[in-house]
Structures are given as C-alpha cells and as structure tokens.
C-alpha cells in the first residue's frame, strides 16, 4: 500500500481527496495536516465521512511519506516546502498555482511537471513533482487543445464559464454567503483571471505561433459544484471534421469524451469526467465543456495524476457515478 499525506486538510478539495484516498485500493491515508484543527476528528469537519474514517487532524508530518498532496491556498505551498523537508522518494502533488507556470516550475532543485494528463501524460509518468491544473484552466484547455494541436487557432478565443460556489473555497466572504449567492449570478476577474497564464502556456506548447487573445469571462453560479464553459472561435472546417479531430485527440484519454448530444452539468458532477460538445455556427465553432470543479478540476485529477506517477491504472479509485438524479 502507498502511504499518502495531505497538507491543508479542512477545505473542500481536501475533503474530496480524503474521500478518494480512503476508497482507493492502492492507498492508505497516513496523516491529514491542519494546524488549526490539530487533534480534532476529521469527521467533525468533513461530516460526509462519518463511518468511513477514524483519524484525527495532526500538526505533525511523516517525512518518509510515499505521496504528499498540498491542498494549501495559492502562494502557501512554496512557504510550506521551504520549512518542511521530505524524503527524496516522496512524490509531491501541489493543487495550488505555485508551480504551474514555466517560470515557477523549478523550486529548491525540484522540477514540477504541469499535470494535465491529456497534454503531458508521458512527462507525468516520469516525474516526482507535479503541479495540478486549475479548475477553469482544465475545462477551457480541454475545449481548445485539439485546435492548437493542428495549429488551427487564428483568431481570439472567447470563453464564458460558470463555476459553483465550492470554487471559492470554505472561507466566508460577501459573495459566498447563502443570502448573496442564492438566486444570484455575477461575473468576476473578467479578462484577468489567474488561470489565463497556464491556458496560454499550454496552447503555445502545441501551437507556437499563437499570438491571439484568450478572452475569458468567469462567472459565479448559484449552485454548489461544477463548471460549465462555452468557448467559441473562428473555424474554417466542417463540424464533421471538427468532431473527427476531437475524437482522435482524445481517443486515449481516460476521462475526456466527445458527446454528439448537448451536455449539462448533472452528467459530470461527482465524476472525474470532462464532456465536450461541438457545434458550428457560420464561420465559428462553439465548444461546450463541463467538469466537476472539485474532482476533474482538483482532487480527482490529482488522483488521476498520482495513478500515472506510480504506474497504477489511470482510472483506479475514480470509477464514480454522476449525481444525475
């Protein structure tokens, strides 16, 4: 059994990660580190795990852990790794944005690989240090990378995407209170969202002459989880050619599928899937992509990457049914 540790155990992504680890046939949860909850039962915070786990949060770490998941706020993973040392054999998977960009990938002699399996599977299999992609970035990249692979992006890419309330984390703010979020809808960080850096980086890794703009409008939805993204850009081919191209690009992808029918969020919530639907409108192609922001957009993708890093079946522990009803 592979022993896993989690740093920053009280948030939504950590809660989902704990659930996935304790139900994974190859993993054993060794510790969940949380300075603010040390000594408290994990089920006091993650109440959906009652009857499934009997561990307490701890403020101590096991330096010889096999795999370490960092579920810390952005900017905090570097601070934690500066203060704490682990075995050279410990594989580290960071769920923040600290190591995703090319300029940030080398830290204390460790080179982090960008962990989008549909893009970097070979590199993921051969690394000990991984930067898990952002949730919006995952949904948007999976929508447009097949075009970049064929160097078919020659105009701005326009994206409108909506995320559930869990995307904002557990800390309370004006826009996370029920009375504000319920029956409400709003945009935020228009044109400036932090995930744009990794999106542009991945596009250019496939299409180095890309010099147009990804125009991204993120929105807050009044639901708990999921991302629904609509992306459009100019496209000269037919819809049949587009579908063939996308299906070929994702033919070996374990969790990304092209749907011939229109898609909706209930098809992916509580799964590690990304579903994509394509349609042609005049000289533009419309690409709809949907994921669960806490699973394929965070913890599920982290487990998918861990499976690849340890040589397990990519789908191990991730055979999850959508909350359709």
Catalytic residues: 135
Strands (E), the chain: 2-7, 27-33, 67-70, 91-94, 106-107, 110-111, 113-114, 129-131, 157-163, 186-187, 214-220, 227-234, 256-259, 274-281, 284-291
Residues in the chain, overall count: 325
How many angstroms separate the Cα of 87 from the Cα of each of 61, 84, 285, 309? 12, 10, 48, 16
How many angstroms separate the Cα of 255 from the Cα of each of 21, 85, 182, 252? 18, 34, 31, 9
Nearest to 47 by CA among 4, 15, 7: 15
Question: Which residues lie below 8 Å from residue 113, measured CB to CB, with a gap of 6+?
Answer: 105, 120, 123, 124, 127, 129, 130, 131
User: What is Dmax (Cα atoms) for the chain?
Assistant: 60
In angstroms, rounded to a whole number, what is the distance separating the alpha carbons of residues 259 and 271?
16
Q: What is the DSSP letter of 84?
A: -
Residues 307 and 254 sit within 8 Å (Cβ to Cβ): no
């Amino acid at each position: 059994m592979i022993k896993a540790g989690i740093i920053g155990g009280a948030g939504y992504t950590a809660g989902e990660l704990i659930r996935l680890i304790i139900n994974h046939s190859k993993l054993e949860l060794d510790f969940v580190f949380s300075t603010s909850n040390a000594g408290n039962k994990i089920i006091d915070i993650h109440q959906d795990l009652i009857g499934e786990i009997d561990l307490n949060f701890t403020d101590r770490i096991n330096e010889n852990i096999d795999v370490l998941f960092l579920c810390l706020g952005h900017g905090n993973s570097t601070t934690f790794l500066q203060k704490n040392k682990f075995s050279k054999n410990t594989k580290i998977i960071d769920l923040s944005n600290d190591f995703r960009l090319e300029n940030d990938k080398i830290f204390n002699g460790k080179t982090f690989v960008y962990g989008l399996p549909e893009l970097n599977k070979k590199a993921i299999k051969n690394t000990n240090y991984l930067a898990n992609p952002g949730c919006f970035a995952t949904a948007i990249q999976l929508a447009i990378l097949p075009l970049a692979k064929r160097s078919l992006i020659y105009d701005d890419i326009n994206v409108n995407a909506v995320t559930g309330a869990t995307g904002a984390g557990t800390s309370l703010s004006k826009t996370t209170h029920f009375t504000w979020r319920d029956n409400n809808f709003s945009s935020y960080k228009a044109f400036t969202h932090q995930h744009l850096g990794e999106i542009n980086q991945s596009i250019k890794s496939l299409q180095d002459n890309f010099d147009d703009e990804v125009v991204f409008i993120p929105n807050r939805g009044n639901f708990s989880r999921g991302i629904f993204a609509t992306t459009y850009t100019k496209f000269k081919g037919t819809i049949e050619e587009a579908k063939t191209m996308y299906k070929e690009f994702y033919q070996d992808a374990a969790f990304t599928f092209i749907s011939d029918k229109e898609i909706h969020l209930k098809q992916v919530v509580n799964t590690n899937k990304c579903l994509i639907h394509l349609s042609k409108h005049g000289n533009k192609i419309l690409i709809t992509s949907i994921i669960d922001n806490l699973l394929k957009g965070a913890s599920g993708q982290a487990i998918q990457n861990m499976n690849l890093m340890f040589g397990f079946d990519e789908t191990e522990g991730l055979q999850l049914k959508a909350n359709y009803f």
